[in-house]
Amino acid sequence: MSVLIFAELDEGKLRKSSQEAIYYGAKVAEQLGTSATAIVIGQADDSELATAGRFGATKVLHAADSKLNEPNGMAYATVVAAAAQQEGTKVIVLAKSSLADAMAARLVGKLRAGLAANVVELPDLSNGFRVKRSIYTGKAFAYTDLTADVKILAIKKNTLAVEEKDATASVETFSPALNDGDFGIAVKSTDKATGDVLLPEADLVVSAGRGLKGPENWGIVEDLAKALHAATACSKPVSDLDWRPHSEHVGQTGLKISPNLYIACGISGAIQHLAGVNSSKVIVVINKDPEAPFFKSADYGIVGDVFDVLPRLTKAVQAL
């Protein structure tokens, strides 16, 4: 009866968020006195899959059917449900993502499971199975008791600090039965965000708003991001004006991120923007308006012109 972790791939590599999910799942397995098994869907080398052992998994089930190369919530749910039934799983762990969210909803029906999303701590097993969840876009927490036989935990990014160990996981081919109904949704194309560091996976993010005055000035943002090995992001007005791609828009109607450090440059801090970033561990705000609302949510603030502050900050980072 192992804990099962759904681990996503990105170009044949385990995503950072999935490494965190494996680590979390292994910790839950320790609490339950059992082992952790990862289920991976898509093309990947066994050597890469075996690295799941560094995060606590003892075994990886690999479903590599060519039909599954494109992410498909319906088909993936069938695969994960079959893996759960084979392993006698009572707890399934996954990292929140658009694919995982779509799949988890279907798993609830297939396995008659209980689902808790935005989980931010290990479960409390002292009196049942209770989890702590982030709610209201990070403004509050809820404690939820899961009573279903099978429990699905969708964890929030940075729930636990991952500690790697020198270990490898065994890799087994997994070939569950699939039918035409699993492919009732067809993926026609996939548009992926580009860049040295992808925003959903980033620990450090440098973001900017209309205070940059135009797309031609974005170089100072990218220079700081490059110096920090960070991802870049933007506010909704910036993406609406096509200054930056919509894949960089963070906020209530964009991506919701939880980096270790979020640097906001020339962003006033409307509530809609805060909804996407207030789970960041540390927020730094740079704005020439000392009354900008964002300063109320900042851990650190710099009152100054971004065109003066950012180049100086970049030079300081490079000097380190």
- Binding site feature residues for FAD: 210, 266-273, 287
58 conformational bin, left if phi > 0, alpha if psi -120 to 50, beta if neither: alpha
CB-based contact 186:125 (threshold 8 Å):
no
Please give the annotated binding residues, written as ranges. 210, 266-273, 287
CB-based contact 234:222 (threshold 8 Å):
no
In the chain, the DSSP E strands lie at 3-7, 9-10, 13-14, 36-41, 59-63, 91-95, 114-119, 130-135, 140-145, 151-155, 170-173, 204-208, 231-234, 261-265, 282-287, 300-303
Q: Rounded to an integer, what distance in angstroms lies between the CA atom of residue 1 and that of residue 84?
A: 9
Backbone angles phi, psi at 100, to 5 degrees: -65, -40
Amino acid identity, position 285 = V
Amino acid identity, position 257 = I
| Measured distance between the N- and C-terminal CA atoms of the chain, rounded to whole angstroms | 49
CA dihedral sign, ordered 71, 72, 77, 80: negative
CB-based contact 283:277 (threshold 8 Å):
yes
CA 302 to each of CA 64, 264, 284, 286, 309: distance values in angstroms, whole numbers, following the listed order: 50, 10, 8, 5, 8
Amino acid identity, position 308 = D
As given in the structure block, the two tokens for residue 123 are 């479960």
CA dihedral sign, ordered 113, 143, 251, 218: negative
